[in-house]
Amino acid sequence: MRKEIVEQVIKNRDDFTIKSEVENLLKQMTLKEKIGQMYQAPYSATELVGPTWNNLDTEGLIKEGSVGSILSLSDLDSIYNLQKIAVEESRLGIPLFFAYDIIRGYKTIFPIPLAISSSWDTDLLEESCKIIAKESANSGLHMTFSPMVDLVRDPRWGRVMESHGEDPYLGSEIGKAYIRGFQQGDFSKRDAIAACIKHFIGYGASEGGRDYNNVDISRHSLFQYYLPPFKAGVLEGVASVMTSFNVFEGIPATANRYLLKDILRDKLGFDGVIISDYTSTTEIINHKIAADFKEVAQKCSHATLDIEMVGTSFIDELEAICDENPEYLELVDQAAARVLTLKYKMGLFDDPYKGMKDKGEKLYLLPEYREKAREMSEKSMVLLKNESLLPLNRETKIALIGPYADSKNVLGFWNGLGEEKDCISLLEGLKNAGFSNIEHLQMELDQSEVLDEKLFGEALTMASRADVVLLALGEHQFNIGEGASRTLLEFSESQKKLAQEIKKLDKKMALLSFTGRPLILDWFHENMDAVLQVWFLGSESGNAIGNILSGKKSPSGKLTMSFPQNQGQIPVYYNCLNTGRPLDRNNVHRFCSRYIDSSNEPLYPFGYGLTYGEIEYEKLKLDKREMTPEDSLEVSIQIKNTGSHEAEEIVQLYIEAETFSVSRPLKELKGFKRVKLKKNAVEKVIFKLTAEDLKFHNRDLEYVNESGKYKIYVGKNSRDTLVETIDFKNFI
């Protein structure tokens, strides 16, 4: 496999120093101790849920040098004590590193990643991740299992909440921002942490949207859609990569040498640590490619996996395997070397108690952290419909009704160490925003998502007294995330019934949708005056929504995942191929790619989102009609805010490849810019496209340019665009 030369710049002499230190340390280590670096132990069963494992004497294993790192431990005293055992009681005193799923916040909790991606604000995301890193690094943690960059197209999958949607380019830009914010160029720094990009690879394509289910995608799809965010993360210097639970070409990713060695290490040039997912090593027995732990250890080690998370096949079996088969010794040496190198880069050989001494809690939830979380939350919401209802006058008589009317349970899933008590409820946020005339009815929601219908009478009475009804409906926080795939993508029957009953009162109504995925909102789109996709926003939820509903801030978020009109359309995504019989919007005839009972179009397309402004697009211009690989193309457009509110518009640039050696998507996002527009303001927005932006994977999986025509689209979403054409002449 041709090694794609990633710029292997030795950042400073430290890389040479680290290399010699690691080689020196390896010479002193026993085989058992080297294998120990390849084991990540869960310390406290009470802190974890999930597949059980035999009760290990973790402290005893640390003393004998058989543990390299610890998973999901947050108690600072326990972290310090385990590190003390490793440093002072093991033979060589090699420090542990501590890792946790601080996906989008430690104590200051930011929106769920699907919401964060809807902000399209990579600068703000990078700043947010610096805060997340600071709270984490000062709480004894050295690595976060974030960002998750799985491309997703199926809202039935619970983990879409953790993703950044259906586009590889946007997913790449967002993944890089997380890494820059977490690692800050050098994660030995006091307030930085190592990032771990996941799940490598293809997990988001689980069949039926059912978690952990089979994945069957082509190598071409893998390279064209699923690989780009990982390639971008490797180029951004991500410290580690986590393998996924699924198979690829029938072999589980965790034991798949083609994926881990040929692609990740050899083709992308990744020289960091590859860590398994939680028991994804021993699960290859369930995948029926290993009969026992010995075969698990053989296959995962041969695939060049460095760390086994929770499973104990490496520490139980690898020593004997190496005795029987010396070729494994080299694999163990390489894995141990990568883990030790990571620890050097974490600064742990200089200060193994880094971040463990003075308690970090004085840093938690600082006002400036809350302010950043509020800004990200404001920018993450997506206004899907607004028939001149929002923003609301602060004197409006409001009936605030539903399970999220006054709930602090707005964290969603994968909440780090976030606590509900630190969250601002919607009612609190509306009051903080100056709304003075609110009646509210908080309705409890458990995982059945069935409301207490005895409260419906009170709800109707309250609604009948109001000018505007705000319906705060949603999913239960444990009905989203890992292990929470669902077959019915709608609000629960009782939530729908509540909405339908109130609708009969013929009041102005807005739906505030607290969900972790796209739901089918067709009835709400028809019957609400406004629809605001709120997601789960974390600590500053209520304040952010209050600022949007009051008009203090204009909504600016744009969807990064299409919202289907109905479940039958799934998967529906914007960057799809044209097919040999495309649906001709003018004259639908039988024999074309269509449904007999639905359109092909989503209810809300990728990139869609309204602001309080009225943004007009005009004067799309290209500075040339032909370009070569040496050229760059300047694309300019003029946008104007003719509305009565200032706004921030996310201007999007797409390409459509006309005729090339493989069929390419109808549209591909290749640029985006957030532009502030005061009332009546006019802005000229300029993009630059290069030959690199036009590359794609041909049938031989080479990343190439070819000569051909492109349409260049610029607009407010993937559907509503202006278009021009360019002819690309590839002379190479």
Interacting residues toward ligand GLC by CB under 6 A: 72, 101, 145, 198, 277-278, 482
Q: Which is nearer to ligand GLC, 131 or 275 (CB)?
A: 275
Nearest to 689 by CA among 718, 721, 714: 714
Strands 632-641 and 682-690: antiparallel
Q: Which is nearer to ligand GLC, 113 or 551 (CB)?
A: 113
Q: Which is nearer to ligand GLC, 156 or 558 (CB)?
A: 156
Q: Which is nearer to ligand GLC, 196 or 534 (CB)?
A: 196
Structure tokens at 400: 């605030």
Q: How far apart are CB 143 and ligand GLC at their closest, in Å?
A: 10
Q: Would you say 254 and 242 are in contact if contact means Cβ atoms under 8 Å apart?
A: no
Q: Which is nearer to ligand GLC, 272 or 391 (CB)?
A: 272
Query: How far, in Å, CA of 375 to CA of 102, rounded?
Result: 19
Which residues lie closer than 8 Å to 680 by C-beta, 6 or more apart? 640, 641, 642
Q: How far apart are CB 49 and ligand GLC at their closest, in Å?
A: 10
Q: Which is nearer to ligand GLC, 479 or 705 (CB)?
A: 479
Q: Which is nearer to ligand GLC, 126 or 482 (CB)?
A: 482
Q: How far apart are CB 282 and ligand GLC at their closest, in Å?
A: 13
Q: How far apart are CB 52 and ligand GLC at their closest, in Å?
A: 14
Q: How far apart are CB 413 and ligand GLC at their closest, in Å?
A: 11
**Cα distances (Å, whole numbers) of residue 608 to 381, 560, 721:** 12, 8, 11
Identity of residue 501: E
Tokens 């921002």 — which residue? 177
Nearest to 614 by CA among 406, 422, 383: 383
Strands 626-627 and 721-728: parallel
Nearest to 669 by CA among 110, 117, 125, 114: 117
| 592 alpha carbon, distance to own chain's centre | 35
**Cα distances (Å, whole numbers) of residue 370 to 132, 517, 555:** 11, 24, 19
Tokens 């007999």 — which residue? 596
What 3-state DSSP class applies to 41? strand
Q: How far apart are CB 311 and ligand GLC at their closest, in Å?
A: 12
Q: Would you say 155 and 564 are in contact if contact means Cβ atoms under 8 Å apart?
A: yes
Q: For 68-131, where are the E strands, in sequence order?
A: 69-71, 97-100
Q: How far apart are CB 108 and ligand GLC at their closest, in Å?
A: 20
Burial 295-328 (b: 16+ CB within 10 A, else e): bbbbbbbbbbbbbbbbbbbbbbbbbebbeeeeeb
> Is 277 known to be catalytic?
yes
Q: Quick one: which H or E segment has residue 383?
A: strand 382-386
Q: Which is nearer to ligand GLC, 224 or 246 (CB)?
A: 246
Q: How far apart are CB 158 and ligand GLC at their closest, in Å?
A: 11
Q: How far apart are CB 457 and ligand GLC at their closest, in Å?
A: 44
| 446 alpha carbon, distance to own chain's centre | 26
Query: How far, in Å, CA of 490 to CA of 211, rounded?
Result: 19
Q: Is 167 left (phi over 0), alpha (psi -120 to 50) or beta?
A: beta
Q: Which is nearer to ligand GLC, 120 or 187 (CB)?
A: 187
Q: How far apart are CB 175 and ligand GLC at their closest, in Å?
A: 14
Query: How far, in Å, CA of 271 to CA of 348, rounded?
Result: 19
Q: Would you say 151 and 560 are in contact if contact means Cβ atoms under 8 Å apart?
A: no
Burial zone of 62 (CB within 10 Å; 0-12 exposed, 13-18 middle, 19+ buried): buried
Q: Which is nearer to ligand GLC, 163 or 539 (CB)?
A: 163
Say which of 154, 277, 306, 693 is annotated catalytic.
Answer: 277
Strand partners, 655: 668, 712
Identity of residue 625: R
Q: Would you say 702 and 588 are in contact if contact means Cβ atoms under 8 Å apart?
A: no
Question: Which positions are annotated as active-site residues?
Answer: 277
